[in-house]
Chains A and B, each alone.
Chain A
Amino acid sequence: MSEEESPAQRVAIGISFGNSYSSIAYTSGEGKAEVIANEEGDRQIPSILSYVSGEEFQGTQAKAQLVRNAKNTVAYFRDFLGQDFKSIDPTPCHHSAHPIQHESTVAFKIKDKEDDTENTVTVSEITTRHLRKLKNSASDYLGKNVNAAVITVPTNFSDAQKDALSKAAKDAGIEVLQFINEPVAAVLAYDARPEAKLADKNIVVADLGGTRSDVAVIASRGGMYSILATAHDYDVGGAQLDEVLMDYFAKEFLKKWKNGGDPRVDDRASAKLKLESEAVKKALSIGSSANFSVESLSKGFDFTCSINRMRYETISSKVFATFVRLVLNVVEKAQLDPLDISEIILAGGTAHTPRIASSLASAFPESTTVLAPSTSATAINPSELAARGAAIQASLIQEFETEDIDQSTHPMVTVTPHLARAIGVLCISSDESTGVFRHLVEAETPVPVRRTAIIATPREGGDVLVKICEGTRVIKVTKPEPKANGKAADDSDDDEDSDESDEEEELREKTYKVENVLAEAALKGLSKGAKVELQINVAADLSCTFFAREVGGKVAVRGGWKAPGKA
């Protein structure tokens, strides 16, 4: 092991490497994750490289080159890494250097040297240059040479893509400590906040990016995360919203300048249109109106036009609806109901759009929290989640030996049995049909697990039977009694509309159905109003022990059952 790689010498950061934007973050001495701004002051650094007579530009400066120097500007290349040329979709590169086949990999033909010759630069080399720049920005900021990182990747990134990224990072002087999945990084960024409380909950992470959207359903159990279902959609993202605006402004332009020509047809005009449309979209996420203004948009005609958020939301309502559908589909794929979801974490740049957050909030029950800037005061900037999560993970493992990290992330460790059903205790009545099931351990909890709960006992005290059982979650649908016409509205006329729609609505609740009584225990002679403490331990082989005792009491009842398949 070279000296640079020894854990003591490591300076690790978190990198979120995306098709459209990349971010870098570090963890401060107090354990708080901070996103680093590059020398241009950008925290979301466009993943774009551009060359002008041998000089390299990156980030926002390179993005500006998309208009005048599109052929020597490389953008949207992350998903090409480690891919076969046939399997890539070059659509996003329409406005920049086009990907070409080069041996087994993807490359770009660009003039990146002074001598004005076209060179074939592989996507791996492009990535290395990009990562080197990110590394240098972080090193400048921290005043230390950054030599290691945790990088976030989409959940469907193949091993070949990870290997290619790992190699590209190594060439840039970065040791990749670990690849972590983007949605999990987002959850970690929220859970690592000091005010966060650990709970067993199902979380949906909707990562709405520029050229793709990824949604994952994650079971969070005692701070451990298991992905239940994922979906990837390359046809919904910020680019679709940009297109809606581009169409709108192009039509307005044609209305004003009859002989201006369609700016969408001309390459340079459409590049200008796209850049400004994206800027307008971002402004509409913050303000209620925005100005579109491009000098010499097409055929020398300047164009200025303003749009308010209401109009924008109307013209892009179709795109918003596809986001909501995508999220609902993944919940279904995980065999869950919207009622099972406690939190929706919105990540990615497009998640800043207020309307997407409010559409999701109305598609899910009120019990579901939507974590986005417009719906929650405590929400973290959606663009920064992945980088923050990576920075936190980097700070946790940077002291480890490389071997330790590899061993810990090995499938031997990560593949773990998850409970198929919830385990809980039957309260109120000993009868299975009338009892109320109170869950102790949720379904999909990885074992081994230990949970403790305090349960109230009947008021009069005395003897109590504790029944431990398995339960499945069922959705109870109750239809409200149809109200008699006219009488339903409480004399006020303006309520009638809402009453009518209420009548159609079914009441859906989440309840548990008791499936299987596992063990019973009796506690005798409890005092008045006593509470019972119950602890249950499920071992890795699904054998289990539990004990129950009165709070403050000394005597505990112990019991347990064996692993399945054993006598």
Chain B
Amino acid sequence: VLSADWSAPTESKTLTAATDRNIEPVGPHFLAHARRKRHKRTFSEDDRI
């Protein structure tokens, strides 16, 4: 529920640093991920193709 005096926060926060891990290069979803990564596409670009 929104209080009356709410205003959009101005400061921007960031995520906690991520840890690097290895994805298993297996399965259809990985292959889709590899395709996106190699062609540097985003999800919505990939959806359109």
Cα-based distance from A518 to B11 in the complex (angstroms) = 10
Asked whether B1 lies within 8 Å of A563 as measured between CB atoms, the reply is no
Asked whether A224 lies within 8 Å of B23 as measured between CB atoms, the reply is yes
Asked whether A524 lies within 8 Å of B2 as measured between CB atoms, the reply is yes
Asked whether A225 lies within 8 Å of B24 as measured between CB atoms, the reply is yes
Cα-based distance from A413 to B22 in the complex (angstroms) = 9
Q: Is A564 at the interface (CB under 8 A from chain B)?
A: yes
Residues of B within 8 A of A225 (CB): 23-24, 26-27, 30
Residues of A within 8 A of B18 (CB): 417-420, 447, 542
Shortest Cβ gap from B48 to chain A (Å): 14
Shortest Cβ gap from A434 to chain B (Å): 12
Shortest Cβ gap from B21 to chain A (Å): 5
Cα-based distance from A181 to B23 in the complex (angstroms) = 11
| Residue in A178, A226, A447, A562 whose CB lies within 8 Å of B14 | A562
| Residue in B9, B26, B33, B38 whose CB lies within 8 Å of A393 | B26
| Residue in B12, B15, B17, B23 whose CB lies within 8 Å of A414 | B23
Chain A residue with Cβ nearest B36: A448
Q: Is A416 at the interface (CB under 8 A from chain B)?
A: yes
Residues of B within 8 A of A180 (CB): 24-26
Shortest Cβ gap from A456 to chain B (Å): 13
Cα-based distance from A42 to B1 in the complex (angstroms) = 64
Residues of A within 8 A of B37 (CB): 413
Size bracket of the A interface: 35 or more
Q: Is A359 at the interface (CB under 8 A from chain B)?
A: no
Q: Which of A413-451 contact B (CB under 8 A)?
A: 413-421, 423, 429-430, 444, 446-448, 450
B4-46 interface code vs A (CB 8 A; 1 in, 0 out): 0010110011111111111111111111011111100011000
Chain B residue with Cβ nearest A423: B15
Q: Is A204 at the interface (CB under 8 A from chain B)?
A: no
Residues of A within 8 A of B38 (CB): 407-408, 413
Residues of B within 8 A of A564 (CB): 14-15, 17
Q: Which of A509-552 contact B (CB under 8 A)?
A: 515-522, 524, 537-539, 542, 544
Q: Is A482 at the interface (CB under 8 A from chain B)?
A: no
Cα-based distance from A301 to B27 in the complex (angstroms) = 55
Q: Is A54 at the interface (CB under 8 A from chain B)?
A: no
| Residue in B8, B27, B34, B35 whose CB lies within 8 Å of A191 | B27
Asked whether A393 lies within 8 Å of B27 as measured between CB atoms, the reply is yes
Asked whether A420 lies within 8 Å of B20 as measured between CB atoms, the reply is no
Asked whether A464 lies within 8 Å of B15 as measured between CB atoms, the reply is no
- Given A180-B24, A181-B24, A448-B43: A224 touches B8 (CB 8 Å cut-off): no
Shortest Cβ gap from A140 to chain B (Å): 28
- Given A430-B1, A458-B1, A561-B12: A415 touches B22 (CB 8 Å cut-off): yes
Residues of B within 8 A of A393 (CB): 26-27
Q: Is A465 at the interface (CB under 8 A from chain B)?
A: yes
Asked whether B6 lies within 8 Å of A413 as measured between CB atoms, the reply is no
Asked whether B28 lies within 8 Å of A470 as measured between CB atoms, the reply is no
- Given A413-B38, A465-B1: A188 touches B15 (CB 8 Å cut-off): no
Cα-based distance from A415 to B38 in the complex (angstroms) = 13
Q: Which of A547-567 contact B (CB under 8 A)?
A: 561-565
Shortest Cβ gap from B23 to chain A (Å): 5
Task: List residues of B whose CB falls within 8 A of some A CB.
Answer: 1-3, 6, 8-9, 12-31, 33-38, 42-43
Task: List residues of A whose CB falls within 8 A of some B CB.
Answer: 178, 180-181, 184-185, 188, 191-192, 198, 218, 222-228, 389, 392-393, 396-397, 407-409, 411, 413-421, 423, 429-430, 444, 446-448, 450, 458, 462-465, 470, 515-522, 524, 537-539, 542, 544, 561-565
Q: What are 7 A-B contacts with C-beta separation under 8 Å?
A: A226-B23, A396-B27, A408-B34, A419-B16, A463-B2, A524-B2, A563-B14
